[in-house]
């Protein structure tokens, strides 16, 4: 194999990995956050290098730090840590009505 073909396969592999990560983030956000937190925890071990720990702090999801960004105390008052009030309320539903076709 020549260098051009190897570079082409590397770019394709990178694009497939990026699209897989995007799809996982969109379709299964809780699972993606768990995977991201596990990766960050692996990188944040004390025996890791300073660069790896810095990368782990960067990769750590916001919810895992206890700092939700808005209020900063992780108590759940801003609605990012717990279920939202809209999720606990009854959904706003309307009946669907079908009308016959006009001739």
Q: What confidence tens digit (pLDDT) does each residue in 25-42 have?
A: 999 999 999 999 999 999
**Higher-pLDDT residue of 29, 68:** 29
- Residue 79 φ then ψ, to 5°: 90, 5
Q: Are the C-beta atoms of 36 and 44 separated by less than 8 Å?
A: no
The three-state DSSP-derived secondary structure of the chain is CCHHHHHHHHHHHHHHHHHHHHHHHHHCHHHHHHHHHHHHHHHCCCCCCHHHHHHHHHHCCHHHHCCCCCCCCCCCCCCCCCCCHHHHCCCCCCCCCCCCCCC
- Please state the pTM of the whole predicted model: 0.51
Residue 78 has pLDDT above 60, yes or no: no
């Amino acid at each position: 194999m020549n260098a051009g073909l190897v570079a082409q396969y590397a770019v394709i592999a990178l694009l497939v990995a990026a699209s897989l990560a995007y799809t996982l983030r969109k379709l299964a956000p809780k699972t993606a956050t768990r995977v991201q937190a596990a990766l960050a925890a692996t990188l944040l071990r004390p025996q890791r290098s300073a660069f790896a720990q810095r990368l782990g702090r960067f990769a750590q999801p916001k919810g895992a730090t206890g700092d939700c960004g808005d209020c900063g105390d992780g108590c759940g008052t801003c609605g990012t840590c717990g279920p939202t009030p809209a999720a606990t309320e009854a959904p706003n539903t309307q009946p669907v009505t079908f009308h016959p076709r006009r001739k």
